[in-house]
Structure 1
Amino acid sequence: MEVSSSSRRILASLLETRTGQQLAVNRNWRIDTALAPIMREHRFENLDHLVTKLVTGSSPALTEQVIEALLNNETFFFRDKLPFDLLMGGPLKRIETARAAEKRIAIWSVGCSTGQEAYSIAMTFAEQEVRWRGWKIEIVGTDISRSAIGRARAGKYSQFEVQRGLPVMQMVRWFGEEGEGGWQISQKLRDMVRFEVRNIVERPPEPKQFDMILCRNVLLYFAPDMRRLAFSRMADALAPHGALMLGAAETVIGQTDRFVSDAENRGLYVPAAAAAAASRRVA
């Protein structure tokens, strides 16, 4: 499918205006892949015809469908397992100590897509049942895609989605077969997670004071000013003892002064104000 420069500019502008995400030139392939089914469904002869329809503003449903299609919803259970091991190690011990009196831990999965990351966190806590007995573990997954959040709330996945990242023992323990090739995640895990349609640059979800924030491979697609705003939102929402995890290709360096690298856990970030206060106490 040929993408004219004018059509690409309009699509990129629409996506950034509605979501804050940029459509980089090297992601033109995404337009082809994502919009081909919509072209067939609505019988548009070419992409310019589709874009013309969008420009008229006469079909909000079509506009929503196009935006949803252009969003990147790539995810799977325990994606890049090493970060999960890191997050559930040293930082969690620090959080456990800080929250010992109230026995409550809140975790925010930003850009959670169809829910696998949030459910992976829930599995990790559920499999340490004795350690967390009596604790309230609250996991919130947010994404701008309504269709992705709908699937996350349903907790239903294909055979391929369940097998991708999950060993057989976890698959059998936490899923039940439903229909041909379908798997339903357990009610226990679903009760641990709440999903919301929300843009990261908006106000943080409740409880607005999180112990962990995972925002992996989300900020890659944001313009610098939107990225700074996103960091500010997360800094406001993270407890002083909390930890932020970004994707492997993402960093706070040169992006924000609200976070610094976690001195004890390479690859994680902590609130700059809290780190500075800790340094003064040591000195």
Structure 2
Amino acid sequence: MLREEDFAYLRRLLKERSGLALTTDKAYLVTTRLRPIIEDHGLKDVAQLVSRMRGFGASEIIEQVVEAMTTNESLFFRDSKPFEALISMMLPRLAAVRGANRPIKVWCAAASTGQEPYSIAIMLEENAARLSKNGVEILATDLSQAALTRARMGEYTAFEVGRGMPPHYLDRYFQKTGRNHYIIAPKIRSRVTFQCRNLLEPFGQLGPVDIVFCRNVLIYFDRPTKADVLNRIASIMPQDGYLVLGGPETTLGLTDAFVRHPEWRNVYLRAPVVGSASSLASVRICA
């Protein structure tokens, strides 16, 4: 049984450290996610875990708890539409207004174990001829060091590659290393740079970033945190940049920095700057 005071402590800590806003009905999620940590440390229950977290020299176990609670499911080519929009619309239109020596930068925020950035890298490899004018840099970040370690290795189980990965891509870009494991090709792995970053912390030094994939992470934040993250993303994007959110996410009511793309679901444009050309004209140019 999860005591109310222990749940309250965990909710405060996770909000401060990661932005994760646990609602009161998520007690079951806490006990499920933290069970392996409790067992690894030879503890009895969440109450003993919280007691250890409150003690001296608890930074390591606190980090384990935050990582356990914030590591989310990731799939290859999750919702194919954003990847179609990237290749058919975003990259060609950005390349048309960039010099040949100006690489286009894509940032995958909350990249977890790497399926999303590697999906993008595969799409770039598949479309290399038509996108050859500009180089594309892929930066993938996550709060979890454990998730990033797995992502850098590029090794996945048969179950993981079987969820969303088209069979011809599996044959072309993965090597089977065991009965149930596959490792991604070096040429795909080398396209992605992984860094440990917290979305609650400043990331101005990342900019300018032309395309931001920030999918299925804002749903775990409260409204003020969502608005803050979105506004800081906007601050490092050029006026013709693109933001891609997850299916249940939106910028509506959170920030005026973005407007929804008129054709592509979950794709957002930077809102026109007040005092510039008319809003309608600006959207048409950027779209």
Q: TM bucket by the smaller chain? A: over 0.9
User: Residues 33-86 of structure 1: CA distance to partner in whole angstroms, max 9, x if unpaired?
Assistant: 211111212221221111111112432211111111111421010011123223
Distance change (3 Å), C-alpha of 1:272 and 1:282: closer
SS in structure 2 opposite 1:97?
helix
The equivalent residue for 1:252 is: 251
Work out whether residues 104 and 135 of structure 2, in 8 Å CA contact, stay in contact via their aligned partners in 1. yes
Partner of 1:28: 27
- 2:121 is aligned to 122
**2:231 equivalent to 1:232:** yes
1:60 aligned partner: 59
> How much has 1:186 moved relative to structure 2?
0.9
Contact 2:71-2:147 within 8 A present in 1 as well: no
CA distance in 2, matches of 1:179, 1:266: 39
Aligned residues: 282
Q: Which amino acid aligns with 1:213?
A: V
Moved over 6 A (4+): none
Query: Which residue of structure 2 lines up, in the alignment, with residue 152 of structure 1?
Result: 151
1:7 aligns with 6
- Cα contact 1:77–1:117 (8 A) shared by 2: yes
Gaps of at least 5 residues in structure 2 are 283-287
Q: Is the 8 A contact 1:259 1:272 kept in 2?
A: yes
Does the C-alpha gap of structure 1 residues 250 and 24 become closer, same or farther in structure 2, counting only changes over 3 Å?
Answer: same
- What is the rounded CA distance, in whole Å, between the counterparts of 1:146 and 1:44 in structure 2? 23
Q: In the alignment, what sits opposite 2:181?
A: 182
Instruction: Return the offset for 1:264.
Output: 4.6
Higher mean C-alpha deviation, range 138-147 or range 252-261: 252-261
Provide structure 1 residue ranges, at least 5 long, that are not aligned to the other structure.
none
Instruction: Please say which of residues 265-274 and 241-250 is displaced more in the overlay.
Output: 265-274
Deviation at 1:179, TM superposition (A): 3.5
SS of 2:183 mapped into structure 1: strand
Which shows bigger deviation, 269-278 or 64-73? 269-278
Amino acid at match of 1:93: P
Indicate yes or no: 2:120 matched with 1:133: no
Q: Kindly indicate whether the alpha-carbon contact (under 8 Å) linking 1:202 and 1:233 is maintained by their aligned counterparts in 2.
A: no
- C-alpha deviations, 1:211-253, integer Å up to 9, x for none? 2101011111112222222112210121211110111111111
Q: TM-score, normalised by structure 2?
A: 0.91
CA distance in 2, matches of 1:177, 1:219: 35
The equivalent of 1:277 in structure 2 is 276
Write out aligned runs for 1:36-185 (5 A): 36-185=35-184
SS in 1 for 2:151: helix
Same amino acid, percent of matched pairs: 35
Contact 1:138 1:192 (8 Å CA) reproduced = yes
2:285 aligned partner? none
Distance 1:206 1:157, change over 3 A: farther
Identify the residue that residue 213 of structure 1 maps to in structure 2: 212
Q: CA deviation at 1:198?
A: 0.3
Shift of 1:275: 8.7
Tell me if the contact between 1:98 and 1:241 (Cα under 8 Å) persists in the aligned partners: no
2:111/2:117 contact within 8 Å kept = yes
CA RMSD, aligned part only? 2.1
